[in-house]
Amino acid sequence: MDNGLRKALTIGLVSLSFGITMLSPAVADDNKSSDEVSAPTKDELKNSTNRGLHIQPLKPKTTAKSKTLTVTDTKIQKESKVSKSTKTEKAVDVVPKKVVKSAPAKKPAVKTVTANKKSPPKKTVVASTRPALFVSSGNIVAASLNKAGRVPRYQDGEKLKVTVRAYEDCNLMIFNYDGKVLTQLFPNEYQRDSFIKAGARVEIGGEESKFDFCASNETGDSSSEKIFVYAYPAKEKAKPISIAMNKAGGTPFRSTEMSLEDYRKLVNGSQTFFSRGIKVMPKKQVVEATYEEVKSSAPPNKLELSLTVDGK
């Protein structure tokens, strides 16, 4: 081998060994940290380039991927912090506030008026302020008391007046029954004749009477009393109702004790006159505006008035 070739081989081996020497530390110390690896110098890079080798400086292990992960981790941490803060804020908002209930103020009563809705009128029972004038079904007689209402109320000792009108010539008998005693009010000691002309009237008590007729009840309870008016034809001489009576002391009347059962027999069993089939029209039937006219369903010649007398 000539000297030129030897020199060339020697130089190549030297350079190759030099290159291996330079690379071996990097390969051997691969487990070392990136901070301990030193970058090649310019001369080393120049020499290695001339020999067909290109050595790039080693970079630290913090790659872009790891940086990205770090960035995302920081984002997650920030988001978690934000979410925690929002959660705490929400938690604060969710905490219920203490509400103090105060008593509601009383509102003034307001009357509501519904338009276009007519409620049915309430039926109110108003006591009549006028005396009742009871008229028999055949328009034979009519009778009334001197106080308002169909069943007027009297106090013990209060003046009472009975007025009977005749629309046909007839005879009259008027009785008072207090539940125990039957008293004949007409005819009486001052009015002996029972005959009444059509259009005339009879008063028991009152201004036109010669005596006062007063309600009487010496007990502590109220008593229900009846005034029974009985008419019979003028041509009848005998009295259809004949009862043995004694004179009531200190009065112009006659009376007798009688049970309620016997009184009902007297009223219902007394003879009926003036048949309903015959229309008897009064010549002058004037009903004053001060009276409430009530048509009776009893027989034409009978009327029964009710009253209440309070006790002492």
Domain spans of the chain, in order of start: 132-310
Q: How far apart are CA 161 and CA 186, in angstroms?
A: 13
Q: 210: which residues sit within 8 A by CB, 6+ positions away?
A: 190
CA-based nearest residue to 183, from 228, 231, 250, 238 = 228
pLDDT tens, 25-81?
444 444 444 445 566 666 665 565 444 544 455 555 555 444 444 444 555 455 555
Q: What is the pLDDT of residue 180?
A: 95
Low-confidence stretches of the chain (pLDDT beneath 70): 1-127, 276-289
Token pair recorded at residue 106: 């009383």
305 and 224 Cβ atoms separated by less than 8 Å? no
Write down the pLDDT at residue 174: 98
The reported pLDDT for the residue numbered 237 is 82
Question: Does the model's pTM come out above 0.85?
Answer: no
Distances (CA, A) of 172 to 33, 82, 102, 218: 151, 117, 81, 30
